[in-house]
Structure 1
Amino acid sequence: MSHTKNPDINFSLFDKNEGTLKLTSAETQKDFITVSIADLPSSCSGEVRVLVQNIKEDRPFYLKSQPAGTDCFLIDLSPLKEMAVFGRQTTFCFFIECTLNGKQVFYTLREQEPPASLLQRYRIFTAEIWLQETPSTSSVEYVGVASNKKDFENLFCAALCSRNRYLELTHACRLRSCRMTGGILKLKFDLETGFHKYVKTVFTFRSKLAEDAISYDFHTVSEKKHGNMLRITAALDLKTVDLKSIYWDVRAVLQGPVTENTGELPISMDVPSRMYQKFLYNGSFSGEKGFFLYPYYTGKQTLAFAYREKNKYDGLSVIFKEFLAIFLYRIARPYWKKKHICLVCEKFSSMAQDNGYYFFKHCMENKEEQFLKKNIYYIITKDSPDRERVLPYKNRLLDFMSIRHLCYILAADLIVSSDSRYHTYPLQSRHSIFNRYIKKIPFVFLQHGVIALKKVDNFYGKGQKGACNLFVVSTETEKQTIIDNFGYKPEEVINTGLPRWDVLHDKSQDRREIMIMPTWRNWLDSVPDKDFEASDYFTHYMALLNSRKLADLLEKYDLEINFYLHAKFQEYSDQFQSKSPRIHLISFGETAVNEMLMRCRMLITDYSSVCWDILYQDKPTIFYQFDLDKYEEAHGSYLDMKTDLFGDRAENQEQLLSLLEEHIKNNFKMKPEYEKMRKFYFNFSDQQHSRHICEEIKEKLL
């Protein structure tokens, strides 16, 4: 028997097959599966061969197989084990190849009558595939499972998934009650243990950093048989928990009967439980400085908890406003639909200085409403520092969280934004129900940078929460990154450049400014002040801002620095101080980022995508990456930071200041090797990026 990974097939078998054959039986044993096919054509001649194709890839490959009776085949699945991927389920569909009338034909497979028992339906063909993403993360067991795949036309597939995912497929765990009283979190849930043994319930912090991994065990109050389920009551004293921001998961731990390997099962919430939690239950646990812990249900409708700072949209009053808007919209639905509304916004609907604003401004000044046949509106908070920038178009403004704003969301035909579509509404609102409406609106993702230095496919990838209908990119390299990693088709990714580049040109000739603009870190998102101040991020940048050598360089060469925090870290801006009068700490909204990027002579950043704006202007960047290992663990990137960057790298302050002085002495000119990279990346012939986006929207979405 032979295994050929590259058959002479240059097309996807999903697009070219003769139909589906029925499996009458499928039995697994270690690394093998035996299948019986009911309706294999009797006129098949020559060898019958088995192929599999990854559902996310285009090329199939053969698996070794041999006859095991009439229309029965023993298939070796061991090659699939090498293709397990940490953190992802990898799924392969089966195909049969045979020859009919001298022609090579292919069939998909589907199990005719899958077993009623989920344990029998999801057959494990291999276990104990141990994967470890980095040396600092603990190993996770993966298993191979064979079954029909419901969300893929019920075709028969083999999947490599974590044992936790296998338990989700084969066992039930349903919430019955959740109470938070006197600092005690008490849960009651029904658990289907099957052949497994219940071990405990755990409360686990959701973090991508191994050093932040922490888990607490619930005290199991009782275990009682309830029909074919085990009713568990478990309690946790929240006063003993070192709460971290933001998300915590609750899982039941089960132990297998043969290998005794353990897996974790989330607690699902049925419709009544979800509605009670969303509309009626307001219980929570108060933490430090306005932070609170409360339950919510995830996108997979399982129980989880959030620990964050309370805001003005967390009360039950938001529900009444939303229901009023829904009522007003529904009684006049024909009127609203005739308006053909397109909504534009930026981060948190509180800004007007990024791609959303420049796209909106272009549309208002260039009659794009007639071209697109849309009424275009910009969403912005009443107290936004940028509000004056959009006042010339006040008849096209929507006040954030006004009843009019809510009605326009319900009526919208299209969202265009530099952040996810959910920035049209409060990102954090405990009781809001509007996400279910927002996710149905077609969405054009303008981005607010170039995707390269930070992995975001787990959020913006196709099928993920931040998915879009049209993805704006700025280079052909970036477009290929999106196609290869995000799951979009080439026609869904448009290389137009960013709207803010329409007005981007160098204004630094008569200025002596350097911009420092670090990006955010997901492990510091919404943490308490004391945790932020203890972080490497804060200590490194505070040390830089107060460096005697940096102050001397600025004085010697008559330079100034503008230090600007990422929008997600603006709440910590007061913690940063500098003794040098030449270093200016810029608050959010004080000066438009685009303006500072044009005025500066060069940029110092870590992993921020604004480096591409600087490259676009033919200015140099220094990448200050003191926490690269931690960043790669938590975020990851689509390029090699040590070899593929278009600027010099520094890993400590001494290197950074040495490189800075080198660039100053070179009058801030781009080095030849980076100038060459610039010419490779950018091939735009004009600065009509917004116009080209409008053309693509009309062609592909309208």
Structure 2
Amino acid sequence: MSVQPVCEYVDIAGSRLHVAIRLVGADLPAGSRFTLRLQRRTGTLVAQSSAEVTWRVNAVGTWSRCALRFELACDALPAGSFRLHLSAEPDAAPPALVRPSTGLLATSRPMTVGGRRMQLFPSAGRPALWLRVASAHPLSGIVWSLRNAVRDLAFAAHGRRFSWVRLARVLSAPFVPSGPIWLIGERPETARDNGRALFVHLRRTRPQASVYYLISADSPMRAAVEPFGQVVTHSSWRHRLLMLHADVLANAYSIKHMLPSRWHPGAYMWQATWRIGARRVYLKHGVHLSPYAVKRANGGYDLIATVGPRETAALGQTSGYSDQLVQTGLARYDALLVDAEPTRTVLFMPTWRRYLVPTLFGGADDAMVPFAGSAYATFLDELLGSPRLAAILEAHDLTLQMVPHYNLASVLRLPGRASHRIEVLDAATADIPALLRSCRLLLTDYSSVQFDVAYVGTPVVYCQFDEEEFTSGHGAFSWFTAERDGFGPATSGVQGALDAIDAYAESGFERETRYQARVDAVFAHRDQQNCDRLVAAIDALEG
């Protein structure tokens, strides 16, 4: 077979396994059919299922016929270990080995179906996916553990990283707290987003629980969480120990930010996750506007927090996630409703562009598009150097504070500013929650912080100066558009944005009624109980 099958995820419904497979790089004719086979190491067939290829959309919005959905009856499977193979119908070529996705392995842990234990895991040698099924014998638990030990030896013989994890967990068990261990974080050096909000809530409501916050030793934000106790230095020995025993990993950006510095992210996803079995919680750092970019096969999250039915539905259509999407609201929103003294500030927070920076968590050193001379750089030059902006700020006694996106820090080169009333804050240290609560207006392009200020009741002005380029290179399809759904006027250039800012300043920054209706349509909750709902949802994962 000429295409490579990858198992993206597996679900259990009743006594049936639902297996989702992607044919990498394929776009096949309608009606193409494939057979999924479960075979013993000897080649003996134990189960099979047939399916027709269906549509799938990739992260940048390209649709192709490359998805397969199979069903297998769990109760018909004998005890043993079975490798997954895929073949085209009809095709005389040998079947191809099915590889696991990182998202599948990240959420693989022993599951009980019909009184029997099952688990998916990778091959120690060439890339392949195995399903192990235990018998219903009373001693099956002991046999399962012995097979784990034998398999770990096989992985060690192949030089695989993290083959030592299960042994290390046994030896270090006396040195970790009893009860569930929750590790919470953001980026290694930050404590200002949904991670901090959830951690503070848990320390106040469950002071005896084994809940820890991960942050680097030299972080300027460490003082924001240290008074609450149980703060662990990122990449310390204690951090590594707790990672081996964590029941829950919760992060606002990516679980990869929580890995000790000596742990290779790829090796961790492929070799450690399914041995440890921690529940993975994506707290998110904002409302997700680009649902195509979210793939269960990549992140492998057990829980993703959403803010309302429209975001949930959009993510559920193409990501592979379903029950994992829970409308809890975002943790940091609880604090947004606390009264804050308004400032004479226009907050400017544009989002990033993935094509202007090197690959995140990758080895690439160069961006696809140079920042210098880009539409992004040109817009910043025109806005921050605008004499008209300087005049508006002076006339209304305002300050414009720009917070560049964190992911652009390595390439951003800002021009001269037209006024002393224009300030550029450090994205790594700015108190963004306080800025969002106290600003009089937000100017943005596509940043999800628009939802924070809309939640508070603050006007928003959009300036989408590179819409076509952004859509094709970064955002693809979005369920939310500024023109149709936005919380303020949508503009496409500097002068239009300045017109809107000036008009709001003249009106005393009053948001129009029509935009309030749009806010109400997005959020399912506005009650300062988002953290409570999040904790209940995480508890349900463990229950």
Report the TM-score, using the length of structure 2 for normalisation: 0.68
Query: Does the 8 Å contact 2:309/2:524 carry over to 1?
Result: no
Of 84-93 and 402-411, more deviation after overlay is shown by: 84-93
**Aligned-pair CA distance for 1:431:** 8.5
> Could you report, residue by residue, the CA deviation over 1:405-449 in whole angstroms, capped at 9, with x for unpaired residues?
111111111111112211102689769743432474211111111
2:425 and 2:282 map into 1 onto residues whose CA distance is 27
- CA RMSD, aligned part only? 4.1
Change (3 A) 1:410 1:679: same
Secondary structure at the counterpart of residue 622 of structure 1: strand
Query: Does the 8 Å contact 1:570/1:587 carry over to 2?
Result: no
Match of 1:391 among 222, 226, 235: 226
Query: Does the 8 Å contact 1:577/1:585 carry over to 2?
Result: no
Letter in 2 for 1:470: L
Letter in 2 for 1:441: A
Which residue of structure 2 aligns with residue 597 of structure 1? 436
Query: Does the 8 Å contact 1:472/1:495 carry over to 2?
Result: yes
Which residue of structure 2 aligns with residue 253 of structure 1? none
> Could you report, residue by residue, the CA deviation over 1:364-388 in whole angstroms, capped at 9, with x for unpaired residues?
0112x65xxx510100011111011
2:33 and 2:524 map into 1 onto residues whose CA distance is 54
Secondary structure at the counterpart of residue 429 of structure 2: coil
Superposed counterparts of 1:350-499, under 5 Å: 350-367=189-206, 374-394=209-229, 396-425=230-259, 433-435=267-269, 436-438=271-273, 440-452=277-289, 454-455=290-291, 457-458=292-293, 460-462=294-296, 464-489=297-322, 491-499=323-331
**Unmatched runs of 5 consecutive residues or more in structure 2:** 1-12, 17-28, 35-49, 73-84, 101-124, 127-153, 359-364
Which residue of structure 2 aligns with residue 660 of structure 1? 501
**Aligned-pair CA distance for 1:510:** 4.5
2:341 and 2:71 map into 1 onto residues whose CA distance is 63
Query: Does the 8 Å contact 2:86/2:97 carry over to 1?
Result: no
Secondary structure at the counterpart of residue 423 of structure 2: strand
Change (3 A) 1:656 1:344: same
1:682 and 1:700 map into 2 onto residues whose CA distance is 24
Query: Does the 8 Å contact 1:378/1:398 carry over to 2?
Result: yes
**Aligned-pair CA distance for 1:393:** 2.7
Query: Does the 8 Å contact 1:55/1:93 carry over to 2?
Result: no
Letter in 1 for 2:417: S
Query: Does the 8 Å contact 2:459/2:511 carry over to 1?
Result: yes
Which residue of structure 1 aligns with residue 40 of structure 2? none
Superposed counterparts of 1:228-243, under 5 Å: none
Which residue of structure 2 aligns with residue 561 of structure 1? 400
Letter in 2 for 1:495: Q
2:267 and 2:507 map into 1 onto residues whose CA distance is 56
1:678 and 1:92 map into 2 onto residues whose CA distance is 37
Change (3 A) 1:88 1:378: farther
Query: Does the 8 Å contact 1:414/1:442 carry over to 2?
Result: yes
Query: Does the 8 Å contact 2:87/2:96 carry over to 1?
Result: no
Letter in 2 for 1:543: E
1:119 and 1:323 map into 2 onto residues whose CA distance is 35
2:71 and 2:219 map into 1 onto residues whose CA distance is 55
**Aligned-pair CA distance for 1:339:** 5.0
**Aligned-pair CA distance for 1:664:** 1.5
Within the alignment, does 1:541 sit opposite 2:376 as a pair?
no
Within the alignment, does 1:631 sit opposite 2:470 as a pair?
yes
Letter in 2 for 1:449: G
Change (3 A) 1:468 1:34: closer
Secondary structure at the counterpart of residue 533 of structure 1: coil
> Could you report, residue by residue, the CA deviation over 1:49-99 in whole angstroms, capped at 9, with x for unpaired residues?
xx9777799xxxxxxxxxxxxxxxxxxxxxxxxxx962561336699xxxx
1:16 and 1:54 map into 2 onto residues whose CA distance is 24
Match of 2:424 among 560, 563, 585: 585
**Aligned-pair CA distance for 1:391:** 1.5
**Aligned-pair CA distance for 1:678:** 1.5
Match of 2:178 among 338, 346, 349: 338
Which residue of structure 2 aligns with residue 240 of structure 1? none
Letter in 2 for 1:363: L
Secondary structure at the counterpart of residue 338 of structure 1: coil
Query: Does the 8 Å contact 1:409/1:438 carry over to 2?
Result: no
Match of 1:647 among 488, 504, 513: 488
> Could you report, residue by residue, the CA deviation over 1:115-147 in whole angstroms, capped at 9, with x for unpaired residues?
x997886489xxxxxxxxxxxxxxxxxxxxx99
Within the alignment, does 1:696 sit opposite 2:529 as a pair?
no
Letter in 1 for 2:183: L
Query: Does the 8 Å contact 1:520/1:568 carry over to 2?
Result: yes
**Aligned-pair CA distance for 1:487:** 2.2
Within the alignment, does 1:86 sit opposite 2:63 as a pair?
yes
Match of 2:410 among 571, 574, 593: 571
Secondary structure at the counterpart of residue 520 of structure 1: coil
Report the TM-score, using the length of structure 1 for normalisation: 0.54
Change (3 A) 1:87 1:570: farther
Within the alignment, does 1:670 sit opposite 2:497 as a pair?
no
Change (3 A) 1:620 1:510: closer
Which one has a larger percent helix, Structure 1 or Structure 2? 2
1:375 and 1:680 map into 2 onto residues whose CA distance is 37
Letter in 2 for 1:444: V
1:426 and 1:94 map into 2 onto residues whose CA distance is 38
Query: Does the 8 Å contact 1:337/1:411 carry over to 2?
Result: no
1:346 and 1:678 map into 2 onto residues whose CA distance is 27
Secondary structure at the counterpart of residue 643 of structure 1: helix
Query: Does the 8 Å contact 1:622/1:648 carry over to 2?
Result: yes
Query: Does the 8 Å contact 1:53/1:93 carry over to 2?
Result: no
Secondary structure at the counterpart of residue 285 of structure 2: coil
1:572 and 1:684 map into 2 onto residues whose CA distance is 38
Which residue of structure 2 aligns with residue 48 of structure 1? none
Which residue of structure 2 aligns with residue 500 of structure 1? 332
Query: Does the 8 Å contact 2:33/2:52 carry over to 1?
Result: no
**Aligned-pair CA distance for 1:330:** 4.6
Equivalent residues, number: 424
Match of 1:512 among 331, 336, 344: 344
Within the alignment, does 1:532 sit opposite 2:366 as a pair?
no
**Aligned-pair CA distance for 1:346:** 0.5
> Could you report, residue by residue, the CA deviation over 1:463-485 in whole angstroms, capped at 9, with x for unpaired residues?
x2212111111112112222222
Secondary structure at the counterpart of residue 407 of structure 2: helix
> Could you report, residue by residue, the CA deviation over 1:281-308 in whole angstroms, capped at 9, with x for unpaired residues?
xxxxxxxxxxxxxxxxxxxxxxxxxxxx
**Aligned-pair CA distance for 1:643:** 2.4
Change (3 A) 1:555 1:594: same
Query: Does the 8 Å contact 2:186/2:252 carry over to 1?
Result: yes
**Aligned-pair CA distance for 1:588:** 2.6
Superposed counterparts of 1:15-54, under 5 Å: none
2:62 and 2:248 map into 1 onto residues whose CA distance is 36
**Aligned-pair CA distance for 1:576:** 5.0
**Aligned-pair CA distance for 1:682:** 2.8
2:521 and 2:438 map into 1 onto residues whose CA distance is 25
Secondary structure at the counterpart of residue 686 of structure 1: coil
2:374 and 2:243 map into 1 onto residues whose CA distance is 39
Query: Does the 8 Å contact 1:506/1:599 carry over to 2?
Result: no
Which one has a larger percent strand, Structure 1 or Structure 2? 1
Change (3 A) 1:685 1:626: closer
1:383 and 1:31 map into 2 onto residues whose CA distance is 56
